[in-house]
Structure 1
Amino acid sequence: MLLSDKVIVITGGASGIGYACVKAYIKAGAQVVVLDIQQGAMDRLIAEIGPDHLAIDCDVTKESSVKLAIEQVKDRYGRIDAIHNNAGIATPSKSLDLTTPGEWQTIMNVNLFSIYLTTKFGLPYLKQSAGCILNTSSMVASIGQLNHAAYVASKGAVDALTKAMALDYAPYKIRVNAVAPAGVWTPTLEKWAAEQPDKESIEQYLDDIHVLGYCPKGDVVADGCTFLLSDKARFITGHIMPIGGGAELGYRR
């Protein structure tokens, strides 16, 4: 029970990696608050995990929405031990010159500005608990990705921000880390793979980029996140943890 009695707020927790993290955190003993805009998915999630946990309809790009959500967490649990900034989008799939200003701003708002907002409103409670912050980054932050310029830029900024936050909040005993997955089978990736001309070839490609030989599901990321949020990682801060089965090494099977 690595997270026994901890209150963890996670953005984008209704599906994909976030959903796997929610399940893992609960299994490890935490009470979990999910901030998401997918109301149907959140209703199904709460039906599955039970009323001890909380799902809040929250647009993590809106100051008023995040402020209200954090107040609801305080009113319900009286404390916050960790914030996992997981909400993210990968679109548009374009080079920089083809990306519109609106597309650029949207991805930066979801992937980056949301971290500012959760930190701004959650920090007073993390100071009280000497808690921690975890950001979901990506392997592409360090190696790039074809036709995803805005996404790569946003995740590169997440890595840099993670290190800056770790330095700023260390005096309060608040740890700040990030995880950097490579390919992970989520509904978004499954949809993308199904749209490709040769689905079987794409699935083989996704297996092959990982040195360990397969493209994983979200549970492998969730296990790493559980560790980083636990006291087992009490002397780790400012770390970008690769969870890519060796994909970050650049080798191919």
Structure 2
Amino acid sequence: MLHHKIIVLTGGADGIGWECAKAYSKAGATVCILDKNPIAENKLNELETAQKTAIVCNLVNENEVADAFKTIIEKFGAIDAIHNNAGIAHPSKTLDQTTDAEWDLLMNVNLKSILYTTRHGIGHLKKTKGCILNTSSMVGTIGQNNHAVYVATKGAINALTKAMALDYAPYRIRVNAVSPAAINTPTLQSWSKEQPNKEEIQHYLDKLQPLGSMPAGDVIADACLFLLSDAARFITGTILPVSGGAELGYRTII
């Protein structure tokens, strides 16, 4: 489905991002991972396509993002898609308890990184009539207690996705977002262990989604694969829930 496509994937070293990298590679894409953490060569070689690269990149540093895109173009010649997946959720706080530094970090990683990848990638996407995919979250639509700034960034991603879809439609560039609920990733496991009621949290996460217990990131990767493929060629401005029905109706969670 992604044969010969060159995809830039941020935050691809683990979790949902790594599952996406594997899915894109299996579908025939060249995967270019930008992540603050290095990826060992033996892990990178798990990707099925011969062409792939991983660049250590601080996504809130514009110069590093610009250099990464330059490297990708020099190596592969084009960019067909950008998947803005990098994000952080820490800290778990109400708005009044959030420090300026915590606010700035969440806004920079979750939002400014999209500004930089778009600024340095849009010219290449115009040439290929490519697409952009943003990783959002159900909390951006339904909210979440004790995560005010994280929720704000995901709500902003939803609104930004729609604005970008309109702005870039004249260039035949599609812009969509995927919206997970609870996904079993290292980030979520780390968060759950920090909570005072760890056992209750795990039970809650497993019961959150009517379709079944908390899945791994491959369910998100499958949806992302579709949105980046030509099968979704007339879909833009969509915030696609991949939530197992977590947002549906009042339910008793026992």
Give the TM bin, normalised by the shorter chain. Answer: over 0.9
1:20 paired with 2:37, answer no
| 1:244 counterpart residue number | 243
Alpha-carbon deviation of 1:201?
3.0
| 1:80 counterpart residue number | 79
8 Å contact 2:26–2:47 — kept in the other structure? no
8 Å contact 1:211–1:246 — kept in the other structure? yes
Q: Deviations over 1:130-182 (max 9, x none)?
A: 00000000000011111000000001000000000000000000000000000
**Paired amino acid for 2:18:** Y
> 1:33/1:236 Cα in 2 relative to 1: closer, same or farther (>3 Å)?
same
Structure 2 gaps of 5+ residues are none
| 2:135 counterpart residue number | 136
| 2:172 counterpart residue number | 173
| 1:120 counterpart residue number | 119
**How many Å separate the matches in 1 of 2:111 and 2:53?**
24
8 Å contact 1:5–1:29 — kept in the other structure? yes
1:45 paired with 2:25, answer no
| 1:36 counterpart residue number | 35
Alpha-carbon deviation of 1:60?
0.7
8 Å contact 1:126–1:174 — kept in the other structure? yes
8 Å contact 1:11–1:85 — kept in the other structure? yes
Matches for 1:43-122 after TM superposition, within 5 Å: 43-49=41-47, 52-122=51-121
> 1:63/1:131 Cα in 2 relative to 1: closer, same or farther (>3 Å)?
same
**Paired amino acid for 2:152:** A
**How many Å separate the matches in 2 of 1:200 and 1:150?**
25
> 1:92/1:199 Cα in 2 relative to 1: closer, same or farther (>3 Å)?
closer
8 Å contact 1:14–1:45 — kept in the other structure? no
Structure with greater helix share of residues:
1
8 Å contact 2:83–2:134 — kept in the other structure? yes
| 2:161 counterpart residue number | 162
Alpha-carbon deviation of 1:42?
4.9
Alpha-carbon deviation of 1:189?
1.2
**How many Å separate the matches in 1 of 2:75 and 2:155?**
35
Question: Cα RMSD over matched residues?
Answer: 1.4
Q: Deviations over 1:79-128 (max 9, x none)?
A: 00000000000011100000001100000000000001000000011000
Aligned length in residues: 251
**Paired amino acid for 1:237:** T
8 Å contact 1:211–1:251 — kept in the other structure? no
**How many Å separate the matches in 2 of 1:67 and 1:7?**
17
Bigger CA drift: 183-192 or 78-87?
183-192
TM-score normalised by L of structure 2: 0.95
| 1:207 counterpart residue number | 206
**How many Å separate the matches in 1 of 2:61 and 2:114?**
11
Alpha-carbon deviation of 1:211?
1.3
**How many Å separate the matches in 2 of 1:107 and 1:189?**
16
| 1:226 counterpart residue number | 225
Alpha-carbon deviation of 1:235?
0.3
Structure 1 gaps of 5+ residues are none
